[in-house]
């Protein structure tokens, strides 16, 4: 290892530019091609093997110089939540459904990009002028919403096309704003890890598909890799705003600016306690900011990975972000830096003895 | 066998944190198996015997884990918010006591309710561990606890917070002790993380790759005042599962279990459980599929801190299990 440790510095301009490209790319579950292309371009010079599997996962291997190296799977999902066009109402109006978990109440008035050509469109909202008294108290059902691409672009959109929010990536001081930071922050982390690989382990990087609709890519990726252990790197909601009634906020999930979020339990996984201890110890010894994501619902690819074959010790680390699964997520660069540092150093310090100890 | 049961149910082992139970089981079965291993998810897998010409590779699974709670937040006054591990109802929480893995005890209470005719939601409950500030609170986010109630013997009706599923662990240990001759390669799997979705049995079954699988677990009863309608009672013998909400037991396995019970004069009941499932589901669906069934021990008040079984049912369950695994099986 050189004296200059990777990830001891702030995120560089080129790393940020890569995150921007990734965040702006459109990759709704099942159609991850745009992100897959960027990933392949970025990692090919840095890995020993890379392939795209039957479901579209990118599976890359970076070997170790050590013969008995632990085989460590690191995972991040390429897909994002979005929409699918399901019916053509003519004149540039299209009916659509949500792909992945999206709150319909956040949709009216949002701009979107449709199909492989990123055709701009808008999810129209009824103007306030024409709204009947009382109408604003009900949520607008998805059935009555349309994506409007304008009559001129009608021929460029067809049933089955995906659409994403049109939000462009921005950086404002320590804050980063984007539409698909869930989980392009993880994808970017994995790419950086492959560019600066910890030598002691064989790195098995899975850039997965279809996480948002049921962890589908990760399951087959883990089966193929059959690793000794796995770390899923994801994005998790932060609901850390003060409560309106000034009572202490006891259900924030994570907090912006408090560092990398380590998972103890979610609805899909009870993280391997040995790996939790290892992450906490790494963070504390190196002074890397970390927090525990509040145990509760939700989940990551770890939920699929740890149940594969005879079981795979697994844990998740997330970068917190406000307003997850809406048009715009807000995260902190400092939390991403902490996550990069934690993942790199925790993987570097892995040792087979960790798994020989009782769970 | 009551001492064994008491020892098992008084050990603390919420899902994902079964180490203490595993140690007790390991000590009990030492020398009884040909090979013992612990897999990546913490399942304890004990192999006994080899497969003779008329034998099969048989997997038995009883889960070591119990339901519990996990800390999500400690507030500035030292009150602890929590989430559940497995199926925990607010109705059985209020006023109850919990014990953390680090030895700390606490009690559960609730915020003032807007309406007294509705149960509180889980996020209206909290644990008081006697702390008066966040800084002095002896537990932190991610710490786990189980319900804390002493074992009771009510005239042959045994009561504990963890009959589900330590009673099956006890039955399997006892069967391992009593089973002298078997044509089968037997895998006694003491599984983990059943209460959060059969996770341990899923990976253990992949590893064992059984030809025949039996779960040992508890099942509900329909014999309490205005309780669920169900044809299973305490004290009428082990229940042979026909179906539950996650599995249709293999009819050949059900027939084999019924015939074995009848041949050996063991009382039994047939079980149709409308809510819940067992490790048998995970075993049935592993790899290319496995004939699977479940031997159930009738239990009242499941997932409350006072789960009740009948000791005679337990003894008959051991007898039935030993009979089942001691002879060649024909599923024809």
Distance CA B162, CA B198 (A): 17
Nearest chain B residue to A247, by CA: B75
Under the banding of pLDDT at 50, 70 and 90, the label for residue A2 is very low
The answer on B107 and B251 residing in a single domain is: no
Q: List the single residue in A252, A276, A307 with the smallest CB-CB distance to B199.
A: A307
Under the banding of pLDDT at 50, 70 and 90, the label for residue A3 is very low
Percent of chain A with pLDDT over 90: 86
Q: Is-contact A117 A163, C-beta < 8 A?
A: no
In a domain, B167, yes or no: yes
Work out the mean pLDDT of chain A and round it to a whole number: 94
Active site residue B194: yes
Is B123 an 8 Å CB contact of chain A?
yes
In a domain, B155, yes or no: no
In a domain, B253, yes or no: yes
In a domain, B39, yes or no: yes
Best interface-test mutation with A: which of B18, B38, B40, B112 has the largest number of A CBs within 10 A? B40
Which of B147, B176, B208 is the endpoint of a domain?
B147
Under the banding of pLDDT at 50, 70 and 90, the label for residue A1 is very low
Pick from A297, A296, A336, A333: which is nearest to A317 by CA? A336
Of the two residues A141 and B295, the one the predictor is more confident about is B295
The answer on B194 and B237 residing in a single domain is: yes
ipTM of the prediction: 0.93
Which residue out of B18, B185, B194, B271 is catalytically annotated? Answer: B194
Binding site per annotation, positions of A for Zn(2+): 77, 182, 212, 234, 325
The pLDDT score that the predictor gives to residue B277 is 97
The answer on B170 and B121 residing in a single domain is: no
**Which residues, including other chains, have CB under 8 Å from residue B318's CB and lie 6 or more apart?**
B1, B171, B174, B175, B178
* Strand ranges for A310-358 from DSSP E: 314-321, 329-332
In a domain, B184, yes or no: yes
The answer on B38 and B169 residing in a single domain is: yes
Which of B147, B169, B201 is the endpoint of a domain?
B147
Question: Given an 8 Å threshold on Cβ–Cβ distance, is B70 in contact with A313?
Answer: no
Instruction: Tally Cβ neighbours within 10 Å of residue A150.
Output: 13
Under the banding of pLDDT at 50, 70 and 90, the label for residue B19 is very high
Mean pLDDT of B166-192: 97
Digit-coded pLDDT (tens) for A70-102 = 999 999 999 999 999 999 999 999 999 999 999
The pLDDT score that the predictor gives to residue B116 is 83
The answer on B259 and B237 residing in a single domain is: yes
Under the banding of pLDDT at 50, 70 and 90, the label for residue B290 is very high
The pLDDT score that the predictor gives to residue A199 is 86
The answer on B259 and B201 residing in a single domain is: yes
In a domain, B117, yes or no: yes
How many separate domains does chain B show? 2
- Of A50-59, A64-73, A239-248, A337-346, minimum mean pLDDT range: A239-248
Distance CA A294, CA A271 (A): 13
Digit-coded pLDDT (tens) for A12-70 = 899 999 999 999 999 999 999 999 999 999 999 999 999 999 999 999 999 999 988 99
The answer on B249 and B114 residing in a single domain is: no
Digit-coded pLDDT (tens) for A102-134 = 999 999 999 999 999 999 999 998 888 998 888
Residue with tokens 């921005």: A170
**Could you list the residue range(s) of the whole structural domain that residue B132 is in?**
68-147
Which of B98, B120, B147 is the endpoint of a domain?
B147
The answer on B74 and B44 residing in a single domain is: no
CA distance B5 to chain A (A): 24
The answer on B209 and B174 residing in a single domain is: yes
In a domain, B332, yes or no: no
The answer on B61 and B72 residing in a single domain is: no
Distance CA B231, CA B227 (A): 11
Instruction: Tally Cβ neighbours within 10 Å of residue A196.
Output: 15
The pLDDT score that the predictor gives to residue A197 is 95
Show residues of chain B in contact with A252, CB under 8 Å.
73
Domains detected in chain A = 13-80+179-356 (3.40.630.10), 82-165 (2.40.30.40)
Show residues of chain A in contact with B137, CB under 8 Å.
none
Under the banding of pLDDT at 50, 70 and 90, the label for residue A245 is confident
pLDDT at A9 over 70: no
* Total count of residues recorded for chain B: 332
List the CATH number of the domain containing B204. Answer: 3.40.630.10
Measured CA angle at A14 (ends A9, A17), to 5 deg: 120
Question: Given an 8 Å threshold on Cβ–Cβ distance, is A292 in contact with B203?
Answer: no
Distance CA B217, CA B238 (A): 10
Instruction: Tally Cβ neighbours within 10 Å of residue B279.
Output: 32
The pLDDT score that the predictor gives to residue B68 is 98
The answer on B187 and B321 residing in a single domain is: yes
In a domain, B45, yes or no: yes
Digit-coded pLDDT (tens) for B203-255 = 999 999 999 999 999 999 999 999 999 999 999 999 999 999 999 999 999 99
Distance CA A321, CA A23 (A): 13
The answer on B188 and B43 residing in a single domain is: yes
List the CATH number of the domain containing B95. Answer: 2.40.30.40
């Amino acid at each position: 290892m050189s004296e200059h440790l990777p990830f001891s510095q702030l995120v560089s301009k080129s790393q940020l530019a890569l995150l921007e490209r990734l965040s702006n790319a459109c990759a709704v579950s099942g159609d991850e091609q745009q992100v897959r292309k960027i990933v392949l371009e970025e990692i090919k010079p840095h890995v020993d093997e890379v392939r795209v599997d039957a479901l579209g996962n990118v599976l890359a291997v970076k070997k170790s110089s050590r013969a008995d190296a632990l085989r460590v799977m690191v995972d991040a999902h390429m897909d994002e939540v979005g929409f699918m066009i399901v019916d053509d109402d003519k004149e540039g109006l299209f009916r659509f459904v949500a792909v992945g978990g999206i709150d319909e109440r956040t949709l009216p008035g949002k701009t979107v990009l449709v199909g492989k050509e990123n055709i701009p469109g808008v999810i129209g909202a009824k103007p306030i002028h024409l709204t009947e008294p009382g109408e604003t108290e009900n949520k607008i059902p998805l059935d009555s919403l349309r994506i409007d691409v304008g009559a001129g672009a009608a021929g460029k959109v067809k049933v089955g096309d995906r659409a994403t929010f049109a939000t462009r990536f921005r950086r404002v001081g320590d804050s980063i704003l984007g539409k698909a930071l869930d989980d392009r922050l993880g994808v970017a982390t994995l790419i950086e890890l492959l560019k600066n690989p910890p030598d002691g382990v064989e790195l098995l990087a899975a850039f997965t598909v279809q996480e948002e609709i049921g962890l589908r890519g990760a399951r087959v990726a883990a089966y193929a890799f059959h690793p000794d252990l796995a770390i899923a790197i994801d994005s998790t909601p932060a609901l850390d705003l003060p409560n309106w009634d000034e009572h202490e906020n006891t259900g924030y999930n994570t907090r912006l600016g408090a560092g990398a979020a380590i998972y103890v339990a979610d609805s899909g996984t009870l993280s391997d306690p040995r790996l939790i201890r290892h992450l906490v110890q790494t963070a504390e010894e190196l002074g890397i900011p970390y927090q525990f994501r509040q145990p509760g619902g939700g989940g990551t690819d770890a939920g699929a990975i740890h149940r594969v074959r005879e079981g795979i010790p697994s844990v998740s680390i997330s970068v917190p972000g406000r307003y997850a699964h809406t048009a715009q997520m807000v995260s902190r660069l400092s939390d991403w830096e902490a996550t990069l540092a934690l993942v790199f150093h925790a993987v570097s310090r892995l040792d087979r003895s960790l798994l020989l100890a009782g769970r | 066998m009551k001492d064994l049961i008491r020892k098992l149910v008084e050990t603390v082992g919420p899902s994902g944190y079964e180490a203490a139970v595993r140690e007790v089981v390991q000590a009990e079965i030492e020398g009884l198996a040909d090979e013992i291993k612990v897999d990546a998810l913490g399942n304890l897998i004990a192999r006994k015997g080899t497969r003779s010409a008329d034998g099969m590779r048989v997997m038995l699974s009883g889960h070591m884990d119990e339901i519990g709670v996990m800390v999500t937040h400690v507030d500035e006054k030292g009150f602890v918010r929590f989430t559940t591990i497995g199926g925990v109802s607010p109705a059985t929480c209020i006023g109850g006591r919990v014990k953390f893995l680090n030895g700390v005890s606490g009690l559960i209470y609730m915020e003032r309710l807007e309406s007294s005719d509705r149960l509180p939601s889980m996020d209206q409950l909290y644990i008081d561990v006697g702390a008066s500030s966040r800084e002095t609170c002896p537990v932190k986010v991610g710490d786990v606890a189980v319900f804390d109630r002493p074992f009771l013997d009510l005239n042959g009706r045994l009561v504990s917070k963890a009959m589900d599923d330590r009673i099956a662990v006890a039955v399997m240990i006892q069967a391992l002790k009593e089973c002298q001759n078997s044509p089968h390669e037997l895998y006694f799997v003491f599984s983990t993380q059943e209460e959060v979705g059969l996770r341990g049995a899923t990976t253990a079954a992949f590893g064992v790759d059984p030809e025949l699988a039996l779960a040992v677990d508890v099942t509900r009863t329909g014999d309490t005042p205005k309780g669920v309608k169900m044809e299973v009672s305490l004290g009428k013998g082990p229940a042979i599962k026909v179906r539950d909400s996650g599995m249709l037991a293999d009819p050949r396995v059900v027939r084999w279990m019924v015939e074995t019970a009848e041949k050996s004069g063991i009382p039994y009941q047939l079980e149709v459980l409308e809510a819940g499932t067992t490790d048998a589901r995970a075993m049935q669906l592993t790899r290319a599929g496995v004939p699977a069934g479940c031997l159930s021990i009738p239990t009242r008040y499941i997932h409350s801190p006072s789960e009740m079984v009948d000791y005679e049912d337990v003894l008959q369950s051991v007898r039935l299990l030993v009979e089942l695994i001691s002879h060649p099986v024909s599923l024809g």
